[in-house]
């Protein structure tokens, strides 16, 4: 079964647009996470950025206490955030690149160029009972390096696929890259997730990619929720993920 990791970062983005710097505000990402769980999401994903642009420390601690499914903490390989993760003990951390000027995470980690540092963090997390995922492009060298790091998961960056979805030739090329990457990762013993830019139009095409465990998506679901409500938006996405051939 293909699982849904509901990313609730942009619930916090909306709150911070009006209530930044306050100890309260709406909408509440923790409440959204609980609604998402009740609607069928298999896990909750959040990105605690170094600049705290959306999710705040208090949010992730409340989430750790409140949710019943898996907590996936996206994070930079930065000392402060590593320290928080080791105390928070999410079920899994997904190490991602982080640049202050970007609106959302663009591009994957350069695991091949930084595998030793990433391996050190992976070891710390695993020693604390936390699984590790690496957010990477579907590139052979990066996948091989992810296995060398000892990560349990990779998350294939689907941004290029999403960006080229309207151009059939380019879309099919990006799907083939994802297919090849998923097969390579599976052969190396890595579990495979995917995410970035997935929405209600392009998600069915992801069924062509084998060995997927989970899709992490948020912006499209939160946007859809403005019109139909979060429970309906989550259930609609889940319906698009049904009958995944694996």
Total number of residues shown for the chain:
246
Rg of the chain over CA atoms, in angstroms? 17
Q: Which of 47, 131, 155, 157 is catalytic?
A: 47
Please indicate whether residue 102 is annotated as part of the active site. no
Is 175 in contact with 208 (CB distance < 8 Å)?
yes
Q: What torsion do the CA atoms of 121, 123, 126, 131 make, to the nearest 10 degrees?
A: 50
d(CA 24, CA 68): 23
**Pairing label, strands 131-136, 92-95:** parallel
Is 81 in contact with 47 (CB distance < 8 Å)?
no
d(CA 167, CA 90): 38
Please indicate whether residue 74 is annotated as part of the active site. yes
Q: Which of 37, 54, 74, 157 is catalytic?
A: 74
Q: Which of 10, 42, 54, 196 is catalytic?
A: 196
Question: What is the set of active-site residues?
Answer: 47, 74, 196
């Amino acid at each position: 079964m293909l699982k849904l990791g509901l990313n609730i970062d942009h619930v916090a983005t909306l709150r911070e647009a009006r209530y930044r710097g306050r100890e309260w505000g709406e909408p509440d990402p923790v409440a959204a996470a609980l609604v998402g769980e009740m609607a069928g999401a298999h896990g909750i994903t959040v990105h605690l950025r170094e600049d705290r642009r959306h999710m705040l420390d208090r949010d992730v601690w409340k989430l750790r206490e409140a949710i019943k499914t898996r907590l996936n903490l996206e994070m930079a390989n930065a000392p402060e955030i590593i320290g928080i993760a080791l105390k928070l003990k999410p079920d899994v951390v997904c190490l991602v690149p982080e640049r202050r000027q970007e609106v959302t995470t663009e591009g994957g980690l350069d695991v091949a160029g930084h595998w030793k540092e990433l391996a050190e963090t992976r070891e710390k997390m695993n020693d604390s009972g936390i699984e590790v995922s690496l957010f990477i492009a579907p590139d052979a060298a990066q996948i091989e390096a992810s296995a060398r790091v000892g990560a349990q998961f990779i998350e294939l960056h689907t941004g290029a696929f999403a960006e080229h979805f309207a151009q059939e030739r380019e879309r099919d090329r990006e799907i083939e890259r994802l297919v090849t990457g998923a097969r390579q990762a599976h052969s190396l013993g890595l579990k495979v997730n995917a995410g970035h830019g997935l929405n209600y139009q392009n998600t069915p095409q992801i069924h062509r990619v084998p060995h997927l465990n989970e899709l992490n998506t948020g912006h499209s679901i939160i946007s859809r929720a403005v019109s139909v409500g979060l429970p309906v938006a989550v259930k609609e996405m889940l319906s698009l993920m049904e009958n995944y051939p694996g």
